[in-house]
Structure 1
Amino acid sequence: MKDVFFKVIGHRLFWPLVMLVALVAVNVIRVPGFLSITINADGNLFGSLIDILRNGAPTLIIAVGMTLVIATRGIDLSVGSLCAISGAMACSIILTSSDPHSVGTVTVAVLVALALALVLGLWNGMLVSVLGIQPIIATLILMTAGRGIAMLITEGQILTVQSTPFKFLGSGFIYGVPVATVVAAVVLALVALLTRRTALGMLIESVGINPEASRQAGVRARGLLFLVYGLCALLAAVAGIILTSNQTAADANNTGLFIELDAILAVVIGGTSLNGGRYSLTGTLVGALVIQTLITTVYTVGIPPIATMVFKAAVVVVVTLLQSPTTNAALERWRSRPKSVKPASRPSEPAVVR
């Protein structure tokens, strides 16, 4: 029984799930109907839990791509700028078209935005894999220049788009479920199938654990880096289109601002090490839910928005400390501690009959 207890505590998802349950409990205490889900007149699901799933979808989509990048011992700081670029490109094409309400126009705008983000992601992959630039520096270049590119696309303006098909991508519903949530679930499922049902996931982990050994074993590390950075950029563009559609406007300065930090925190909370190697998409899902529930809790409890980042940092510090190797080592020592042995009792002497 003791071994099972320590095995449960030592699991990488134990403390994130505990934190998620604790945050939900705080919200339930503050708002008794927090867990209730209703169906409005349009047949769509409504409730605080639905809001968490919908608002946390962009972070989850980016975090899925970030998980694969971190698994290769890399990082991508440019995903927030890619959100702004993709949203700006899509809105610019829709506004310059003759029929903004056409499904074909919106489709072309989305595909062009995704293609542009993919090219920029491959640029990041080239800097890392071909030129050998450290990932944090290579992606910092696009992080800095990306907002400027988005400003050039929008000509320094906030582009407001009145397009019903485009608005559907961010605030629409499919069989009562928000479109953003459906897209996030599909992305998570597809990436999980791609990496866990094929050898791709193992190759990514091998590159993250030991790039040189992987190269000598015949693994094409350069191609894998191109793949993961391109996929991460593509997913960032998907998230950016959802964010822009939800706002019905392209804001080069604020779209996706600091979302790269939330994505990295979601990956780390989920148990994926920044040193590369083994990763967990399930953990990333839990981490994204923790981040979004934490943001919701800040507003529910009434904490001033200016202190949101401090509150978020405090929770992340607690979770990461509980997941740290030092804590795991302490639990292991406690589990392997020998049991105290009681001294054997001396047998009672038989009574002497006189």
Structure 2
Amino acid sequence: MTALRRVTPQLLTLAALVALVTLFFPDFLRIEVVNGRLVGPIMDILKRGAPVGLLAVGMTLVIATRGIDLSVGTTMAITGAVAAWSITQGYGLGGALALALLAGVLAGLWNGTLVAIIGIQPIVATLILMTSGRGIAQLVTEGRILTFSHDGMAFFGSGDLLGIPAPALLWGLTAVAVALLMRRSALGMLIEAVGVNRAASALAGVNATVLLIAVYVASGLCAALAGIVATADIRGADANNAGLWLELDAILAVVIGGNSLLGGRFSIAASVLGALIIQTVDTGILLAGFPSEYNLVIKAGLVLVILVLQSPNLAHHWYALRRAAQARRERAMDTAKETGQ
């Protein structure tokens, strides 16, 4: 019940968006079976939202430690380039996936080392890889779009299992696995402790350094999965455009999910709903016939509203108003009792 209450605002927001889009596009909720596959706008949202959904899972863990990872979009480009290069070099599906995931781990390890051991601020540490990473991806692809033809790899971008798009299954299973790991073990509590106060958690016996490195590695792995999906979808690696600015959508998804940028308590489910809200907005605007530029304005408006609602000053003001209203009610009741006597 507590978990459901935690994501109630996101569920209501998503429901309101779906209702609004349905007014402009009545077939929005329609799902059909074509050649054994489920098709329709909803399925398209689940498929197209996979990269942001995967990035949001890793970003949630990083933000819970009071950090940020600006390099996830670039990591997508690197891992996608490594996957495509591996396929073209004859390493096979297993080798390509292993090397792509390894690239994601190394990217996360680099970020985590800079933050946890060297002590560089997260926004600066991850900005380094964000700036240099596309150059690395271009070196792998030799400055061109590296295409491949491999049905096994393409499955992760355009395949399906029991009619459900493979990307949707991948990010759904990833989110569930990470959420269960965080809440069925002490990891979630330890991450929240580091986010609230790293020094105090270290005094309490928490190995904050290892934990910080681990969350950045997890973010790198999620970015690697997103890169594999994006590369498999177009059957090629585009080092210039793969994952471009998706780190902002991932951060927005976490924020829409109600997770504080100041660290501490977090919810994977809420971040996933945030990613669905973002993709629903994108798809809804296109289906309604509005220019795609509206996405930027709407996303900016969402960020502004959510940050205002999360503002400590607003929360303090709201609390003061409630206390004042309660005090007035108590005085009115006391006055009524005295008058009655």
So what's the TM-score if we normalise by structure 1? 0.88
Find the aligned partners of 2:58 and 2:225 in 1 and give their Cα distance: 11
Deviation at 1:18, TM superposition (A): 3.1
Find the aligned partners of 2:115 and 2:339 in 1 and give their Cα distance: 73
Identity of aligned residues (%): 49
Deviation at 1:326, TM superposition (A): 4.4
Q: Secondary structure at the match of 1:305?
A: coil
Q: Tell me which of 123, 139, 151 is aligned to 2:138.
A: 151
Runs of at least 5 residues in structure 2 that lack an aligned partner in the other structure: none
Deviation at 1:221, TM superposition (A): 0.6
Deviation at 1:331, TM superposition (A): 4.6
Q: Secondary structure at the match of 1:45?
A: strand
Check if 1:234 corresponds to 2:227. Answer: no
Equivalent residue for 1:48?
A: 41
What is the letter of the counterpart of residue 156 of structure 2? L
Residues 190 and 346 of structure 1: is their aligned pair in 2 closer, same or farther, counting only changes over 3 Å?
closer
Q: Tell me which of 64, 67, 79 is aligned to 1:74.
A: 67
Deviation at 1:15, TM superposition (A): 3.7
Find the aligned partners of 2:309 and 2:15 in 1 and give their Cα distance: 16
Equivalent residue for 1:221?
A: 208
Q: Tell me which of 229, 246, 249 is aligned to 2:236.
A: 249
Find the aligned partners of 2:304 and 2:289 in 1 and give their Cα distance: 21
Equivalent residue for 2:10?
A: 16
Q: Tell me which of 118, 121, 140 is aligned to 1:131.
A: 118
Deviations 1:134-162 (A, max 9, x none): 11111000000100000000000001112
Deviation at 1:95, TM superposition (A): 1.3
Find the aligned partners of 1:116 and 1:27 in 2 and give their Cα distance: 39
Equivalent residue for 2:127?
A: 140
Equivalent residue for 1:29?
A: 23
Q: Is the 8 A contact 2:158 2:166 kept in 1?
A: yes
Find the aligned partners of 2:308 and 2:158 in 1 and give their Cα distance: 37
More helix by share: 2
Check if 1:112 corresponds to 2:99. Answer: yes
Q: Tell me which of 68, 71, 82 is aligned to 1:89.
A: 82
Q: Secondary structure at the match of 2:27?
A: coil
Structure possessing the higher radius of gyration over alpha carbons = 1
Deviations 1:51-93 (A, max 9, x none): 1111111111111111111111111111001100011111111
Check if 1:300 corresponds to 2:294. Answer: no
Equivalent residue for 1:289?
A: 276
Q: Secondary structure at the match of 2:78?
A: helix
Find the aligned partners of 2:263 and 2:202 in 1 and give their Cα distance: 16
Q: Is the 8 A contact 1:12 1:270 kept in 2?
A: no
Q: Is the 8 A contact 2:281 2:295 kept in 1?
A: no
Q: Secondary structure at the match of 1:77?
A: coil
Find the aligned partners of 2:181 and 2:135 in 1 and give their Cα distance: 34
Residues 158 and 288 of structure 1: is their aligned pair in 2 closer, same or farther, counting only changes over 3 Å?
same
Find the aligned partners of 2:210 and 2:97 in 1 and give their Cα distance: 26
Runs of at least 5 residues in structure 1 that lack an aligned partner in the other structure: 1-6, 98-103, 348-354
Residues 216 and 105 of structure 1: is their aligned pair in 2 closer, same or farther, counting only changes over 3 Å?
same
Kindly report the root-mean-square deviation, in angstroms, between the aligned alpha carbons of the 2 structures.
2.0
Deviations 1:178-223 (A, max 9, x none): 1111111111111112111111111111111111111111111110
Residues 302 and 343 of structure 1: is their aligned pair in 2 closer, same or farther, counting only changes over 3 Å?
same
Find the aligned partners of 1:128 and 1:211 in 2 and give their Cα distance: 13
What is the letter of the counterpart of residue 30 of structure 1? F
Q: Tell me which of 187, 190, 206 is aligned to 1:203.
A: 190
Deviations 1:292-321 (A, max 9, x none): 111112212322123421222113322333
Q: Tell me which of 148, 160, 163 is aligned to 1:176.
A: 163
So what's the TM-score if we normalise by structure 2? 0.92
Q: Is the 8 A contact 1:54 1:178 kept in 2?
A: yes
Aligned residues: 331
